Amino acid sequence: MPPFLSHPLTAEAALALIELRHAPELTALVQRNHAHLYRWLSWVPEVYKEKEARAFIRHALKRFATQNGLVTGIWVGEWLAGVADLHTVNWQARSASLGYWLGEEWQGRGLVTLACRALIHYAFDDLGLTRVEVHAATDNHRSRAIPERLGFRFEGVLPEAEWLHDHCVDHAVYALTAEEWRAHQETAGRRFLSSHPEPVEG
């Protein structure tokens, strides 16, 4: 996998490869947002301690070392705001899945959209993948808004796709190909230019 250490998102925010030294920040973020995250994420236990954070990071670094994924922290200054990752990398099919979550206090700033855009570029331009998927619980409208905003196609619903603590949830499946992404970027660029006409001298 090509090196990925950090990537700026805004003047204050950046993506950075998550490391073991970040375990205290990850623990604190999950604990502050436990009820918010527990509702939608099956990996969040009833009690989340630093040992869970360290196990998660070790697994993430192993996946990165074996070219099977990339887990990044979304940082605002010195604060960890959330996580965005590429997982289920299938080199034969040249595909991967995109995941993300954000602390509730950081919502509404566009951080997840920026993070996902950076990882999509990495998947297509650096890794040479041709397809990226997003799976989200059908009722998780905030999560589903991300692929819809970024030009993903809605491919359908997987019934009872995940066991979430004490019940099954259906997954909405979105997909984006490299060709579709480049077309989406060109369209977005044209919209930007049309809304910011160049000044006419004289």
Q: Residue 81 and residue 26: Cα distance in Å, rounded?
A: 9
pTM score: 0.89
Most distant CA atoms of the chain, gap in Å: 69
Q: State residue 189's pLDDT score.
A: 59
Q: State residue 64's pLDDT score.
A: 93
Residues 6+ apart with CB under 8 A from 73: 15, 16, 17, 18, 22, 25, 26, 80, 82, 83
CA distances to 1, 57, 149 from 19, in Å? 17, 6, 29
In the chain, alpha helices (H): 23-32, 34-38, 50-65, 111-121, 141-149, 178-195
Q: Which of 4, 8, 194 is nearest to 86 (CA)?
A: 4
Q: Residue 99 and residue 95: Cα distance in Å, rounded?
A: 14
Which phi and psi (to 5°) does residue 6 adopt? -160, 160
Q: State residue 199's pLDDT score.
A: 42
Tens-binned pLDDT, residue by residue, of the chain (202 aa): 556 668 999 999 999 999 999 999 999 999 999 999 999 999 999 999 999 999 999 999 999 999 999 999 999 999 999 999 999 999 999 999 999 999 999 999 999 999 999 999 999 999 999 999 999 999 999 999 999 999 999 999 999 999 999 999 999 999 999 999 999 888 765 554 455 444 433 3
Q: State residue 185's pLDDT score.
A: 84
Q: Which domains does the chain have, with CATH numbers?
A: 6-194 (3.40.630.30)
